[in-house]
A and B are shown apart, each in its own frame.
Chain A
Amino acid sequence: MPDLSEKTQQLFLFGSSHRTAPLEVRERFAIPDESMADLYRELKTNADVAECMVLNTCNRVEIYGVAPNGFDEEKIYNLLEERHGIPAKQLAKFSFSLCDEEVVRHAFEVAAGIDSQMLGETEILGQVKASYATASELSATGPILNRLFQKSFQAAKWARTNTALGQGLVSIGNIAVDLAERVCGDLSNINLLLIGTGEAGQKTAQALVSRGVEQLTVISRNHERAYAIADEFGAASGATRDLDKFLPHTDVVIGSTTTEEPLITRKRLKPILRQRPSRPYFFIDLGVPRNIDPGVAKLNNTYLYGLDDLSDIANENMKSRMQEVERAKAGLAERAKLLWERLA
C-alpha cells in the first residue's frame, strides 16, 4: 500500500501550462521526446525524486513526483536550466507548483479535460495514459504515482459518463471547417495541404475531408509516414523539402509538424502570393513550436489561425456549458479527497 504518511515525503507537481504561460513561452519549455529518458534519469538522481512522471503536451509540461525529503523547487529549476536550456528566471515567472491533495485534484481535472485549453477535450486522457506508460516503462513511477494515475483514469471516465462534459463539444476540426468555409466557400473546390503527421493535424484534415474536401496532399520529413497517412485519406503525398512546389496550388494549409523554425514565413510566401493575389489563403497552425510565422497573418488575403485562436473560439462557444464543468469539478474534488485520505 502506498504511503505518504512519513513526515518529509511529499507528493508534488511542478509545471507550466496554457494557464500560466503564453504560447511563445510554452514553445521554449517543450521537452523533445528524445530527451525524455535523460530527464527521468536526472530527476531521480539530481533532483532527489523517488517517483516521477512527465506530462509533455502542446499545452503543458508538468512533472508529477514524490520527493522523499520534501519538494525542492530550486532543484527542478536548476536541472531544467542546466540540462535542457530552459531559463530558470522564465520558469519561475511562468510555472506553478502544487503539493499533496491539490496534486491529486489537478491530475483528475487534467485527465478529465477540465484543465484543457479546450474544455472537456478527450485527447488529453490519451496523452496522460501515453505519458504514464512511458514513465512506467522507464521505471520512473512507483506505488504512489501508479495509484494516482490509475485513479485519475477512472475519475476521467466518471466525469464523462456522469456529466455532460463530453457532450456537444466543439472540436478544433469543426471550428477549422467553419473557418475554411468562411474563407474559401465550397470546400470541394479547394486544395488542402497537411504538413506533418501530428494527430491534431490528421483529425483536422479528416474533418475537412468529411465536409467535402477532395484534393488533399500530405507532406512530411518522413516520406514513408506521409505516404501511409495519405494512403488512408486516398490523397497525394510528398516531402517537406518540396513545400514550395505545393504551396502555390494550395488554399488551406494545416501545419502539424515538429520544427524548430517556422516552415512558412513571410519571405517564403510573398513571391507565391504574387502568383495568386486574389485567391485567399487559410492557414491552420497546430504545431508547437509554431510551423507558420505569425507575420504571415499580416500579408494581404491570408488568414492564419493558431492553436490558441481555435481554442479561444471553442471555449467561447462552450461558455454555456460551464455550469456542467463546475458539477464535474465538484465530483472530481470529492474523489480526489478520498484518494488523498487513503494515500496520506
Chain B
Amino acid sequence: MALASLKSKEKVWHTGMILLLGGGFIFQSLGLFFRGLIEKAFPLGNPFELLQVLAWSAIALDLVLRPLFRLRLLNFFGSGLAAILGLFSLCVSSWDYIPQPSQLDGSPWVGFHAALAVFSYAVFGVLAITSLMYIIQHHGLEARRSGGIFDRLPAIRQLEEINGKLIVFGVSILTISVIIGVLNWFAQPGTVSLLKVLVAAAVWGAYLAVLVLRKVNMLVAAPFAISCVMLFVGALISLWPLTQRNPLDSPADPAGMLSDAGP
C-alpha cells in the first residue's frame, strides 16, 4: 500500500495508506497493552516483545514528527522500518518465550531504564530513516537524477536540521537510561554480565561520539547520515547480546531485555 501511494498521485491511495498505518498502530498498541496486563509490566520480556515495542515506538514517533517537521515520505519509510522489525520479530518462534522472574524484579527504576533505552533506540530508528532519506536525496543530486522519488523527498537542508535535533534527543534519552542503569548496577552488583555492560557502553559511546563529532563540525552532511544508518544497524545487532541470559542475571528480568543495559 505504501508503495502504491508513493507511485500513484491519486489521493485515495494516500488516504488508504494513512488509514492502514493508523489502524495498524492502534491494533499494535492494543496488543502490547494486553501483553502488559498479562505480564503486569511493560512488555519487554523477550526479543519478540522488544522488537514489537521498537516498531511501535518508531511509528509513534513518525506520526508525531511528520506533521511537526513537515517531513514528506516519513510515513512511507517508517512503515517500511516497522514492517522489517515486525517480520524480524516473527522469524524465530522461540524468541517469544515466557519471561522468568528476576532478582531485579520489583524495582520501578529498572523498568523505566528499559523503557527509556528502547525509546532511544526508536529515536535512532527514525534518525536512520531520515538519514537514509538524506543519502537518497544526496545521491540523486550527485548523480543528476530528477523526478520520481527525488522530487518528493524532503530537502537536504531540512533533513540535516532534523538529523541534528534527533541525535541530540536520542543521545539525551539513552544517557538518562544509562545513568539509571549504572545506579541499578551499583545497587545490585553482579547482576549484569561484563559482555552486556561493554555492549551497552559501546552503543552509548558510539552515538555520543557521533554527536560530539557533529557538534565540533567534524561529521556533518552525508558522512553523518551514513554513520547514523550504520550505527542503527549496529544498535539492532547489539540487541542480540543484550537479550542473552546468563547464570549471573538468571532468572531473567521481567522488565525487559535492556534492564541491565547500563555500563
Chain A residues with CB under 8 Å of chain B are 175, 178-179, 181-186, 251, 274, 277-280, 300-301, 303, 305, 309, 312-313, 316-317
Contact = CB atoms under 8 A, between A and B. Distances in A.
A183 B144 contact: no
B50 interface: no
Nearest to A175: B146
A184 B214 CA distance: 20
Given A183-B156, A185-B157, A277 B151 contact: no
B158 interface: yes
Contact of B222 (A186, A300, A316): A300
Nearest to B142: A303
Contacts of A183: 141, 155-157
B137 interface: yes
A279 B141 CA distance: 16
Contacts of A278: 160-161, 164, 214, 217, 220-221
Given A183-B155, A280-B156, 17 more contacts: A175-B146, A182-B141, A182-B153, A183-B141, A185-B158, A274-B217, A277-B217, A278-B161, A279-B157, A279-B160, A280-B221, A300-B221, A301-B156, A301-B222, A303-B142, A303-B156, A313-B146
Interface of B: 137, 140-142, 144, 146-147, 150-151, 153-158, 160-161, 164, 214, 217, 220-223
Main secondary structure on A side of the interface with B: helix
B212 to A, nearest CB: 14
Counting from the closest, the 10 A-B pairs by CB-CB distance are A185-B155, A301-B221, A277-B217, A185-B158, A278-B220, A277-B220, A280-B156, A184-B157, A303-B141, A183-B156
Contacts of B144: 305, 309, 312-313
B137 A182 contact: yes
Contacts of B155: 181-186
Contacts of B221: 277-278, 280, 300-301
B146 A178 contact: yes
26 contacts: A179-B141, A181-B155, A182-B140, A182-B151, A182-B153, A183-B155, A184-B155, A184-B156, A184-B157, A185-B155, A186-B155, A251-B157, A274-B217, A277-B217, A278-B160, A278-B164, A278-B214, A278-B220, A279-B157, A280-B160, A301-B156, A303-B142, A303-B156, A309-B144, A312-B144, A313-B144
Nearest to B217: A277
Contact of B151 (A178, A186, A251, A309): A178
A100 to B, nearest CB: 39
Contacts of B157: 183-185, 251, 279-280
A337 to B, nearest CB: 39
Contact of A179 (B146, B153, B161): B146
Contacts of A312: 144
B117 to A, nearest CB: 28
A220 B110 CA distance: 66
A300 B151 contact: no
A175 B237 CA distance: 42
